[in-house]
């Protein structure tokens, strides 16, 4: 049994949706080929059954030859057993193909989302990303799943055509000409279906984005009386999605009707001509029965081919959305090749110098300046930052992400066990929870560390969420930790305890705290005061209070 997902999904072909689907097929070529092989055996054994029944009638029933009847009955039984075994394996491979393609697409899009980071929400709406993970991966998987039955259908139609040609040239030609003709008739339905499915997927993505916005801002909407306005917009957009779905369903219903009507017409034609040939003595009774059996049998592979066209069309639309995500490049390209760095972390834009192993407080008269310097130090925006003399942009981005952690109040809590959310052993968790004054949160949660956290930690207050985020950042234990207003949502007593414990927990490691809290700044080894994006004064907190009136005004405003 294969283990999914695979360790490495590979490097996809992003040049077009069709090339991406072909790349997925090549990436799991073994299971696709295995499914196709078993699909061929499964369908061909069914295709040989009418001929076997016809031979049993002509050589056993008509001349009343019991031995011949038993021999052909044995052949029919063997075909049935072989078909059942091949059908079982075909289904297993088909499911493996579906799961493999779906998991691979999820892995690729997830990896790309992590790689893009803050770039992704700037380039794509939330709903579009969500719809890829919910629906599009299923359609990509469906295109791989249908390959097994599709291959079997094509080969079985060819086998039936050869048998009919060798038995009766006119009937064989009817089948060989009729099948491509029916496919050509169905083809025009696929183009509008493709277009309407794409329109529906775009509207679904927009509606999902609207839903996420409403849920995230529901409290604010109620506060300003805008709930009904956005509810009306959602209702209008949902009706647009419904109308698009109806248009898709209308085209799909025509396609389904064609799958029944057109093969049925071919069955009727083959049966009628075969009956006339039997009456004229051109074919035997057994061959007539076989022809009727083939006419009925052909409905299945022909419907499968139509289904394959439908699934491949849907997969093409889905792959287009996947390729769109995979083709986005990060705002900050990862082109660094330097092996590493150590020493002073210097932001040349602001003039801030962060010495190793120290806790540095950064006070900015404008909060935007503090966030900007945190983004530059973490290389979330480009800037003239050096680390031990090495430009930060010359370091590989994964190296920077591992060494420098920026924790601000926009970070989210995830659903699942609290232990998994924090991501460390019991000892490390307890120590970090104590430093963040969050031990009480874990103790009060049903199940403690094994308790379940709801999506975005909505069962916690703003201060509790902030303390849990701080504990998670401390557990990560990065070489450089950059905290942005880590105590803005807690009371003064809790803030004082966090300030004292934070310094002890991070003793000997580099920590930058962007804050205006005097309680936190009093525990810093050094404080840098910024105005207009530049460091204008540095020194201990108490010295700056006594010598820098503008600094004193900025931090005492926090107390007021």
Distances (CA, A) of 161 to 115, 153, 167, 531: 52, 12, 10, 84
pLDDT for the residue numbered 22: 95
Going by pLDDT thresholds of 50, 70 and 90, the confidence category of residue 212 is low
- The least confident of 4-13, 265-274, 318-327 is 265-274
Radius of gyration of the chain measured on its C-alpha atoms: 34
Q: Best-predicted range by mean pLDDT among 83-97, 415-429, 437-451?
A: 83-97
pLDDT for the residue numbered 393: 87
How many Cα atoms sit within 13 Å of 350 on the Cβ side?
Answer: 30
d(CA 52, CA 289): 10
pLDDT for the residue numbered 200: 72
Distances (CA, A) of 530 to 297, 351, 352, 353, 370: 81, 9, 9, 12, 8
Render pLDDT for 109-149 as a digit per residue (tens, 0 to 9). 888 888 887 777 777 766 677 777 777 888 999 999 999 99
d(CA 325, CA 517): 41
- The least confident of 63-67, 68-72, 214-218, 233-237 is 214-218
Residue whose C-alpha is closest to residue 480's, from 503, 513, 521, 511: 511
Render pLDDT for 380-399 as a digit per residue (tens, 0 to 9). 888 899 998 899 888 888 88
The backbone torsions φ and ψ at residue 531, rounded to the nearest 5 degrees and listed phi first, read -135, 135
Residue 495 or residue 176, greater confidence: 495
Going by pLDDT thresholds of 50, 70 and 90, the confidence category of residue 191 is low
Going by pLDDT thresholds of 50, 70 and 90, the confidence category of residue 346 is very high
Domains of the chain: 17-326 (1.20.1560.10), 345-559 (3.40.50.300)
pLDDT for the residue numbered 189: 65
d(CA 494, CA 471): 14
Render pLDDT for 267-284 as a digit per residue (tens, 0 to 9). 788 778 888 888 888 888
Give yes or no for residue 2 having a pLDDT over 70.
no
Mean pLDDT of all residues belonging to the chain: 84
DSSP output for 268-310: HHHHHHHHHHHHTTSS-HHHHHHHHHHHHHTHHHHHHHHHHHH
- The least confident of 140-144, 212-216, 313-317 is 212-216
Partnered with residue 534 across adjacent β-strands are: 531
Going by pLDDT thresholds of 50, 70 and 90, the confidence category of residue 345 is very high
DSSP output for 121-152: HHHS-HHHHHHIIIIIHHHHHHHHHHHHHHHH
Residue whose C-alpha is closest to residue 523's, from 548, 500, 493: 500
Give yes or no for residue 44 having a pLDDT over 60.
yes
The alpha carbon of 114 is separated from its chain's Cα centroid by a whole number of angstroms, namely 11
Percent of the chain surpassing pLDDT 70: 90
d(CA 79, CA 467): 68
Q: What's the token pair of residue 510?
A: 């580099």
Classify residue 452 as left (phi > 0), alpha (psi -120 to 50) or beta: beta
DSSP output for 380-399: SS---EEETTEEGGGS-HHH
In this prediction the pTM is 0.68
- Beta strands across the sheet bearing 385-387: 352-354, 345-347, 385-387, 390-391
> What mean pLDDT comes out for the span 337-347?
83
Render pLDDT for 153-189 as a digit per residue (tens, 0 to 9). 999 988 888 888 888 888 778 877 777 777 677 667 6
């Amino acid at each position: 049994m294969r283990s999914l997902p695979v360790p490495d999904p590979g490097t996809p072909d992003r040049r077009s949706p069709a090339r991406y689907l072909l790349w997925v097929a090549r990436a799991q070529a073994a299971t696709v080929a295995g499914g196709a092989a078993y699909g061929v055996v499964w369908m061909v054994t069914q295709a040989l059954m009418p001929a076997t029944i016809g031979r049993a009638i002509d050589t056993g029933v008509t001349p009343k030859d019991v031995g011949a009847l038993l021999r052909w009955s044995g052949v029919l039984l063997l075909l049935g057993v072989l078909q059942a075994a091949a059908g079982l394996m075909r289904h297993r491979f088909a499911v493996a193909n579906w799961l493999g393609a779906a998991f691979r697409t999820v892995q690729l899009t997830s990896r790309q989302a992590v790689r893009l980071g803050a770039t992704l929400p700037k380039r794509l709406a939330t709903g579009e990303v969500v719809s890829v993970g919910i629906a599009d991966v299923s359609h990509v998987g469906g295109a791989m799943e249908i390959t097994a039955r599709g291959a079997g259908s094509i080969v079985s139609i060819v086998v039936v055509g050869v048998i009919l040609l060798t038995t009766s040239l006119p009937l064989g030609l009817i089948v060989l000409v009729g099948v491509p003709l029916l496919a050509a008739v169905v083809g025009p339905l696929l183009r509008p279906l493709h277009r309407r499915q794409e329109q529906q997927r775009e509207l679904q993505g927009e509606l999902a984005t609207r839903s996420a916005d409403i849920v995230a801002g529901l409290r604010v909407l109620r506060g300003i009386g805008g709930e009904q306005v956005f509810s009306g917009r959602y209702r209008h957009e949902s009706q647009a999605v419904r109308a698009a779905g109806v248009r898709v369903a209308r085209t799909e219903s025509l396609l389904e009707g064609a799958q029944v009507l057109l093969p049925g017409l071919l069955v009727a034609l083959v049966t009628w001509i075969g009956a006339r040939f039997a009456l004229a003595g051109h074919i035997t009774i057994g061959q007539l029965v076989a022809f009727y059996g083939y006419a009925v049998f052909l409905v299945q592979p022909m419907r499968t081919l139509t289904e394959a066209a439908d699934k491949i069309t849907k997969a093409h639309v889905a792959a287009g959305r996947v390729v769109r995500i995979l083709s986005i490049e990060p705002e900050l390209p990862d082109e660094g090749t330097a092996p590493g760095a150590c020493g002073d972390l210097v932001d040349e834009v602001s003039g801030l110098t962060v010495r190793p192993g120290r806790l540095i407080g950064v006070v900015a008269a404008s909060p935007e300046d503090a966030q900007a310097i945190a983004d530059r130090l973490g290389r979330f925006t480009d800037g003239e930052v050096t680390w031990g003399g090495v430009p930060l942009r010359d370091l590989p981005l994964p190296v920077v992400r591992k060494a420098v952690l920026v924790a601000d109040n926009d970070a989210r809590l995830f659903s699942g066990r609290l232990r998994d959310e924090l991501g460390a052993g019991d000892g490390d968790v307890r120590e970090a929870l104590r430093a963040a004054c969050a031990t009480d949160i874990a103790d009060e949660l049903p199940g403690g560390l094994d308790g379940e956290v709801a999506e975005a930690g909505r069962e916690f207050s703003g201060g509790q969420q902030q303390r849990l985020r701080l504990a998670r950042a401390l557990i990560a234990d990065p070489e450089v930790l950059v905290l942005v207003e880590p105590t803005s949502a807690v009371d003064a007593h809790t803030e004082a305890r966090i300030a004292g414990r934070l310094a002890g927990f991070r003793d000997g490691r580099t920590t930058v705290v962007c804050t205006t809290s005097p309680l936190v700044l009093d525990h810093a080894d050094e404080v840098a005061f910024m105005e207009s994006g530049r460091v204008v004064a540095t020194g201990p907190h108490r010295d700056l209070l006594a010598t820098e009136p503008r600094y004193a005004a900025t931090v005492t405003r926090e107390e007021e």
